[in-house]
């Protein structure tokens, strides 16, 4: 138990460090010392403004990181496929389609989050319903259902954006996931969805443990594998929609963090969920800090950074796959 | 058709599964290879079938390195039926058997006149002539295994290698298949099969190879080599070895279980 | 006597596909505002308007569509045979995305210097090289191939999105259209390119086809039969990549043809085998039809054909899903 506690404290410390870094560093140079000054209200008002402007994006980073990482862990646990990713669920395509529709046909502008949220949820639930109805193992069907919904919605999005330049302009900024330029109001509007997903995930931990033994063993242990899988998917949809609506599509956090979290957490799904929720935001915030610094004074969006950090890591990991695979 | 290994070593991920093995497979015998799980028996058969390449040492076919043959040339001499062959979706029984003719074709001659005869003979030999147009996917377990045997028969080789051919069959089909193998051997083929069941092996094999830890620990006619000591040393099982009441071949009777008391 | 029903059915399906392809070709040339009448088509040599339409407007476009479709269908058939994955196509290992990223980089860093198709080809080659080297075993293990593909796909997508974000709107819009795959304003040079690639690759595919048939039996049995499955696999992947890269170079990354054509071909014959010829014909037919839709759709803007294939492909996958669902096999 004490070893577990040590790991937990280390993970928390890393997360705290990442949050501090996210507040302290940016395209406008400031330091940890400035942060302390701001916290003790002794800072230059200009510096204070710069630092305070980083609060919402840090908070958003934490939220999106937790959501994506936990959604990924759920997906991988439920499908027992180590490459499962929340992106398979059609959430991104649904959110995109809703945003594009709102701008093109309903004359909306700006506040994408109010459309991304129901759009993502609807698409995710649609995939979920198509993919899990009629019993059966459902995982292959789920992936196929995700591909169907994504393809059709993406075709729609592309058709609309290429026909209407104004829509294209807003869309191309949204589709690169970024933490910057968003306020606390975005956070509050996705928070209920995120919390619902997290609560569901917390309840499902031990169910996932039985599912890891295979469908039949899980049933033999008295668990309800079908229900666990359905609720796990639902939670994953809620969480990844919350994240996508808040900050746009971000690659690789959902895929990679569960693998990193498995390292301190071992094989217990509950510990994996917990550590994912700590590692995910830390990783996302660090990626965002990197994105602010590499191209300073302009910024690289966090979605681009995660792809460029995550993909090479994945490519290196391929070499260690079993020869038979 | 002479096949043998010379200092053969094969490893999976670093650890040798077959180590420095020199072995002659006797010609014209029905050889069965037995041994505990992980002893290297499947690996050996795959090496003989030119599926696994040796890390060092050689497999020799008629005195020549097996890997110096071209693929199809070797496949005209040695046929291998692996443990889990895959039947393509939608294929008929005769279509499946036809695939066994591949080694006899060349780039320019993609159909040979002997094909039809070889396929018909193989179907006939395995009792599947009636089912030639049936979907392979709809056969029963016993029929499907016979269809695979027919496929390797259509290859028309003097040597047949079978990797656990009875694994997924129920007991009556296990014996049906073993009898088919025995008949094929009686017709003059050399057969090598990996088997799990000691008693079946002792009943049907004319030559037994016992492997443990990647090497051969005993070989010879079953009646000579299957002993209480061998079973204890290789499998770690205490047993008596009695003559089989029906065939007089050695029969392993384990000690495990409760001794019956007189009522 | 053992009959060979395989050949007859496959030949019938192939003949049907050829007829449909010809019909779709005629429709492409005759429909719409600038369409020719059947009399124009049969009068040779063409003159005036029909000369313009045939030689400049729709002729090359049709020939490119058929060639690209055939190349993609064949490429998908090779790839699916090798990976034994019905969703396999060179797109899965990041070829199209790599091509898109190459085009994007060319447009961002060397505007007007490097032609977009050259950038796309370079991107496709770079993506495949990245996959090849990062697996550590080349193209030998399908599992590794796909995982490496996910990584390369993500990098490519990030590059495209960043460039689309960073450049000005009109340029971004042109780039996005290209990245979807388009057949607008194709020339005879492009038609020649794709057909030369096809003609160069097809003999090798024919040499390989018997071995591919054997690979369906699983690696061990194929090896036992002397069909050298591992070498076959590497060769098939290389040929599939060459075909896809050729298609990308002339039409941009068109999605879903490589994926659906072999699946449709397989369902048309209901026979085992890699269905190489039929996949090529199906691919050609699909793309010609999609392009016909792109040209004749009653909407004010001309959308790239890739959007139609995306929608059609999605609907086809949906059909597949419902079918398997009813059969209860999924």
pLDDT digits (tens, 9 = 90+) for A307-319: 888 888 778 877 7
Q: Tell me which of A205 and A17 has the higher pLDDT.
A: A17
Residue B218 confidence (pLDDT) = 93
* Same-domain status, B19 and B54: yes
* Same-domain status, B73 and B181: yes
Q: What is the distance in angstroms between the Cα of B218 and the nearest Cα belonging to chain C?
A: 27
> C-alpha distances in angstroms, A191 versus A20, A60, A113, A257, A301?
22, 10, 12, 21, 22
Q: What is the distance in angstroms between the Cα of C162 and the nearest Cα belonging to chain A?
A: 7
Chain B hits for C272, CB-CB cut-off 8 Å, are: 88-91, 95
Kindly indicate the confidence band of residue A323, based on its pLDDT and cuts at 50, 70 and 90: very low
Residue B210, in any domain of the structure: yes
* Same-domain status, B197 and B214: yes
Residue B248, in any domain of the structure: no
| B112: Cα separation from own chain's centroid | 28
Residue C4 confidence (pLDDT) = 47
Chain B hits for C217, CB-CB cut-off 8 Å, are: 85-88, 99
Residue B234, in any domain of the structure: no
Tally of domains within chain B: 2
Q: Tell me which of C195 and A90 has the higher pLDDT.
A: C195
User: Which residue in chain C is spatially nearest to B154 when comparing CA positions?
Assistant: C225
Contact: B116, C2; criterion CB under 8 Å: yes
* β-bridge mates for residue B64, sequence order: B61
* Same-domain status, B58 and B120: no
Answer whether C320 touches A (CB < 8 Å). yes
DSSP assignment string, B88-152: PTT-BHHHHHHHTTGGG--SS--S-THHHHHHHHHHHHTT-GGGTTSBGGGS-HHHHHHHHHHHH
| Predicted confidence (pLDDT) per residue in A295-305, tens digit | 777 788 888 88
User: Does the structure show a pLDDT above 80 at A272?
Assistant: yes
Chain C hits for B119, CB-CB cut-off 8 Å, are: 2
Residue A302 confidence (pLDDT) = 87
Answer whether C21's CB lies under 8 Å from C62's CB.
Answer: no
Contact: C217, B116; criterion CB under 8 Å: no
Residue C3 confidence (pLDDT) = 42
Contact: C220, B87; criterion CB under 8 Å: no
Structural domain of B183: 1-77+157-222
* Same-domain status, B30 and B147: no
Chain B hits for C219, CB-CB cut-off 8 Å, are: 51
User: Which residue in chain C is spatially nearest to B91 when comparing CA positions?
Assistant: C272
B15: phi then psi, degrees, rounded to nearest 5: -85, 130
* Same-domain status, B134 and B181: no
Chain C hits for B74, CB-CB cut-off 8 Å, are: 226
Answer whether C171 touches A (CB < 8 Å). no
User: Which residue in chain B is spatially nearest to C204 when comparing CA positions?
Assistant: B107
Contact: A311, C303; criterion CB under 8 Å: no
Q: Identify the CATH assignment for A57-318 out of 1.10.3470.10, 1.10.3210.10, 3.40.50.12500, 3.40.50.1000.
A: 1.10.3470.10
User: Where does a domain end: B103, B125, B156?
Assistant: B156
* Optimal mutation site among C97, C160, C161, C312, interface A, most CBs of chain A within 10 A: C161
Q: Which residues of C touch B (CB under 8 A)?
A: 1-3, 6, 207, 210, 213-214, 216-221, 223-228, 270-273
* CB-based contacts of A58, cutoff 8 Å, min separation 6: A19, A22, A23, A285
Out of A59-73, B67-81, B128-142, C128-142, which region has the weakest mean confidence (pLDDT)? Answer: C128-142
Answer whether B22's CB lies under 8 Å from B5's CB.
Answer: yes
User: What tens-digit pLDDT sequence spans chain B (263 residues)?
Assistant: 789 999 999 987 778 889 899 999 999 999 999 999 889 999 999 999 988 889 999 999 999 999 999 888 999 999 999 988 888 877 889 989 988 888 888 766 667 778 888 999 999 999 999 999 998 888 998 899 999 999 999 999 999 999 999 988 899 999 999 999 999 999 999 999 999 899 999 999 999 999 998 999 999 999 999 999 999 999 999 999 999 999 999 999 999 888 877 66
User: Where does a domain end: B156, B187, B213?
Assistant: B156
Contact: B71, C228; criterion CB under 8 Å: yes
Answer whether C20 touches A (CB < 8 Å). no
Of the candidates C148, C306, C321, the beta carbon closest to that of A144 is on C321
Measured CA to CA, the distance from residue A174 to residue A245 in angstroms comes to: 10
Chain C segment 27-46 residues within 8 A of A by beta carbon are none
Of the candidates C147, C161, C315, the beta carbon closest to that of A176 is on C161
Chain C hits for A256, CB-CB cut-off 8 Å, are: none
Which chains form contacts with chain A, at 3 or more CB pairs under 8 Å?
C
Q: Tell me which of C208 and A222 has the higher pLDDT.
A: C208
Residue C327 confidence (pLDDT) = 63
Which chains form contacts with chain C, at 3 or more CB pairs under 8 Å?
A, B
Residue B147, in any domain of the structure: yes
Chain C segment 196-255 residues within 8 A of A by beta carbon are 255
* Same-domain status, B124 and B191: no
Chain A hits for C330, CB-CB cut-off 8 Å, are: 136, 140-141, 144
Residue A24 confidence (pLDDT) = 84
Kindly report the pTM of this predicted structure: 0.80
* Same-domain status, B6 and B133: no
Chain C segment 103-142 residues within 8 A of A by beta carbon are 130, 134-137, 141
* β-bridge mates for residue B253, sequence order: B240
User: Which residue in chain A is spatially nearest to C324 when comparing CA positions?
Assistant: A141
Out of A199-208, C137-146, C223-232, C247-256, which region has the weakest mean confidence (pLDDT)? Answer: C137-146
Residue B170, in any domain of the structure: yes
Measured CA to CA, the distance from residue B204 to residue B32 in angstroms comes to: 8
Give the number of B-C residue pairs with CB atoms closer than 8 Å: 89
Chain C hits for A303, CB-CB cut-off 8 Å, are: 158, 161
Answer whether C304 touches A (CB < 8 Å). yes
* Same-domain status, B163 and B151: no
Chain B hits for C213, CB-CB cut-off 8 Å, are: 99, 102
Measured CA to CA, the distance from residue A83 to residue B103 in angstroms comes to: 39
For the beta carbon of residue C223, count every other beta carbon within 10 angstroms. Answer: 26
* Optimal mutation site among A81, A104, A158, A160, interface C, most CBs of chain C within 10 A: A158
Give the number of A-C residue pairs with CB atoms closer than 8 Å: 146
Residue A46 confidence (pLDDT) = 77
* Same-domain status, B68 and B198: yes
Chain C hits for B105, CB-CB cut-off 8 Å, are: 210
Of the candidates C147, C172, C256, the beta carbon closest to that of A318 is on C147
Residue B26, in any domain of the structure: yes
Chain C hits for A161, CB-CB cut-off 8 Å, are: 176
User: Does the structure show a pLDDT above 50 at A280?
Assistant: yes
Q: Is A246 exposed, middle or buried (0-12, 13-18, 19+ CB in 10 A)?
A: buried
Region A120-128: what's the mean pLDDT? 85
How, if at all, do strands B207-212 and B56-61 pair? unpaired
Q: Tell me which of C329 and C227 has the higher pLDDT.
A: C227
Of the candidates A154, A161, A314, the beta carbon closest to that of C150 is on A314
* Optimal mutation site among B44, B46, B71, interface C, most CBs of chain C within 10 A: B71
Measured CA to CA, the distance from residue C238 to residue A10 in angstroms comes to: 47
Chain B hits for C221, CB-CB cut-off 8 Å, are: 80-82, 85-86
User: Which residue in chain C is spatially nearest to B156 when comparing CA positions?
Assistant: C225
Which of C63, C54, C60 minimizes the C-alpha distance to C34? Answer: C54
Give the E-state strand segments of B152-214 in sequence order.
159-163, 190-194, 207-212
* Optimal mutation site among B46, B76, B95, interface C, most CBs of chain C within 10 A: B95
* Optimal mutation site among C165, C312, C326, interface A, most CBs of chain A within 10 A: C165
CATH number at B36 reads 3.40.50.300
Contact: C224, B95; criterion CB under 8 Å: no
Chain C hits for A252, CB-CB cut-off 8 Å, are: 154
Of the candidates C2, C214, C270, the beta carbon closest to that of B94 is on C2
Q: Tell me which of A142 and A60 has the higher pLDDT.
A: A60
Q: What is the distance in angstroms between the Cα of A138 and the nearest Cα belonging to chain C?
A: 7
**Domains, chain C:** 5-327 (1.10.3470.10)
Contact: C173, A151; criterion CB under 8 Å: no
Answer whether B38's CB lies under 8 Å from B215's CB.
Answer: no
Residue A321 confidence (pLDDT) = 64
Q: Tell me which of C111 and A273 has the higher pLDDT.
A: A273
């Amino acid at each position: 138990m004490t070893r577990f506690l040590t790991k937990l404290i280390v993970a928390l410390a890393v997360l705290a460090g990442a949050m501090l870094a996210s507040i302290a560093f940016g395209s406008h140079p400031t330091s940890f010392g400035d942060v302390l000054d701001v916290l003790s209200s002794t800072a230059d008002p200009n510096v204070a403004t710069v630092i305070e402007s980083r609060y919402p994006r840090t908070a958003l980073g934490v939220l999106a990181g937790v959501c994506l990482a936990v959604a990924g862990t759920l997906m991988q646990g439920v499908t027992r496929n180590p490459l499962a990713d929340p992106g398979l669920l059609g959430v991104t395509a649904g959110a995109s389609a809703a945003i594009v529709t709102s701008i093109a046909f309903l004359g909306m502008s700006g506040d994408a989050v109010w459309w991304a949220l129901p759009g993502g949820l609807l698409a995710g639930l649609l995939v979920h319903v198509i993919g899990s109805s009629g019993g059966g193992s459902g995982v292959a069907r789920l992936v196929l259902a995700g591909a169907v919904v994504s393809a059709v919605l993406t075709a729609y999005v592309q058709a609309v954006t290429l026909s209407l330049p104004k829509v294209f302009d807003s869309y191309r900024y949204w589709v690169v996931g970024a933490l910057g330029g968003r306020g606390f109001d975005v956070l509050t509007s996705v928070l209920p969805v995120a919390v619902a997903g997290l609560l569901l995930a917390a309840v499902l931990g031990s169910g996932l443990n039985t599912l890891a033994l295979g469908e039949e063993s899980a049933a033999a242990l008295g668990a309800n594998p079908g229900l666990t899988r359905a609720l796990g998917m639902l939670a994953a949809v809620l969480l990844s929609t919350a994240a996508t609506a808040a900050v746009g599509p971000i690659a690789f956090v959902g895929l990679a963090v569960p693998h990193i979290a498995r390292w301190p957490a071992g094989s217990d799904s509950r510990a994996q969920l917990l550590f994912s929720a700590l590692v995910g935001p830390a990783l996302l915030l660090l990626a965002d800090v990197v994105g602010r610094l590499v191209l300073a004074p302009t910024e690289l969006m966090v979605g681009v950074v995660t792809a460029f950090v995550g993909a090479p890591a994945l490519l290196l990991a391929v070499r260690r796959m079993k020869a038979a695979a | 058709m002479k096949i043998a290994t010379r200092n053969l070593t094969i490893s999976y991920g670093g650890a040798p599964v077959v180590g420095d093995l020199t072995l002659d497979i006797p010609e014209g015998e029905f050889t069965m290879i037995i041994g505990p799980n992980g002893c290297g028996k499947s690996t050996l058969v795959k090496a003989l079938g030119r599926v696994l390449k040796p890390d060092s040492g050689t497999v020799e076919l008629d005195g020549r390195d097996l890997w110096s043959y071209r693929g199809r040339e070797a496949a005209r001499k040695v046929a291998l039926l692996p443990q889990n062959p895959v039947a393509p979706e939608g294929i008929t029984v005769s279509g499946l058997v036809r695939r066994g003719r591949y080694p006899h074709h060349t780039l320019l001659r993609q159909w040979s006149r002997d094909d039809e005869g070889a396929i018909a003979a193989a179907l006939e030999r395995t009792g599947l002539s009636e089912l030639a147009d049936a979907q392979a996917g709809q056969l029963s377990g016993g029929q499907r295994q016979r269809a695979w045997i027919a496929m390797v028969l259509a290859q028309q080789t003097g040597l047949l290698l079978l990797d656990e051919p009875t694994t997924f069959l129920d007991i009556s089909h296990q014996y049906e298949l073993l009898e088919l193998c025995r008949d094929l051997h009686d017709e003059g083929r050399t057969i090598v099969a990996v088997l799990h069941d000691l008693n079946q092996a002792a009943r049907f094999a004319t030559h037994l190879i016992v492997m443990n830890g990647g090497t051969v620990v005993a070989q010879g006619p079953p009646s000579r080599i299957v002993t209480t000591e061998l079973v204890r040393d290789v499998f770690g099982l205490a047993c008596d070895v009695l003559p089989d009441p029906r065939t007089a071949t050695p029969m392993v009777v384990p000690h495990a279980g409760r001794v019956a008391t007189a009522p | 006597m053992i009959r060979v029903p395989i050949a007859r059915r496959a030949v019938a399906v192939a003949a049907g596909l050829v007829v449909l392809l010809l019909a779709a070709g005629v429709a492409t040339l005759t429909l719409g505002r600038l369409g020719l009448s059947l009399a124009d088509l049969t009068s040779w040599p063409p003159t005036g308007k029909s000369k313009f339409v045939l030689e400049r407007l729709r002729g090359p476009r049709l020939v490119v569509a058929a060639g690209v479709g055939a190349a993609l269908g064949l490429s998908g058939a090779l790839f699916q045979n090798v990976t034994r994955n019905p969703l396999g196509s060179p797109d899965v290992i990041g070829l199209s995305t790599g091509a898109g990223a190459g085009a994007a980089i060319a447009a961002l860093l060397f505007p007007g210097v490097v032609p977009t198709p050259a950038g796309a080809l370079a991107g496709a080659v770079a993506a495949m090289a990245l996959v090849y080297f990062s697996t550590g075993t080349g193209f030998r293990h399908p599992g590794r191939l796909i995982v490496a593909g996910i990584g390369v796909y993500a990098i490519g997508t990030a590059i495209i999105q960043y460039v689309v974000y960073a450049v000005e709107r009109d340029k971004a819009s042109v780039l996005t259209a290209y990245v979807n795959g388009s057949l607008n304003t194709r020339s005879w040079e492009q038609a020649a390119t794709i057909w030369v690639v096809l003609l160069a690759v097809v003999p090798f595919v024919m040499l390989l086809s018997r071995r591919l048939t054997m690979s369906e039996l699983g690696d061990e049995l194929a090896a036992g039969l002397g069909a050298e499955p591992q070498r076959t696999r590497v060769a098939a992947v290389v040929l599939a990549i060459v075909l896809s890269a050729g298609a990308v170079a002339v039409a941009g990354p068109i999605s879903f043809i490589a994926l659906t054509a072999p699946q449709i071909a397989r369902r048309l014959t209901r026979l085992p085998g890699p269905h190489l010829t039929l996949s090529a014909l199906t691919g050609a037919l699909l793309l010609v039809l999609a392009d016909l839709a792109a040209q004749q759709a009653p909407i004010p803007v001309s959308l790239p054909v890739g959007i139609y294939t995306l929608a059609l492909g999605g609907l086809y996958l949906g059909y597949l899903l419902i079918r398997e669902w009813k059969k209860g096999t999924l």
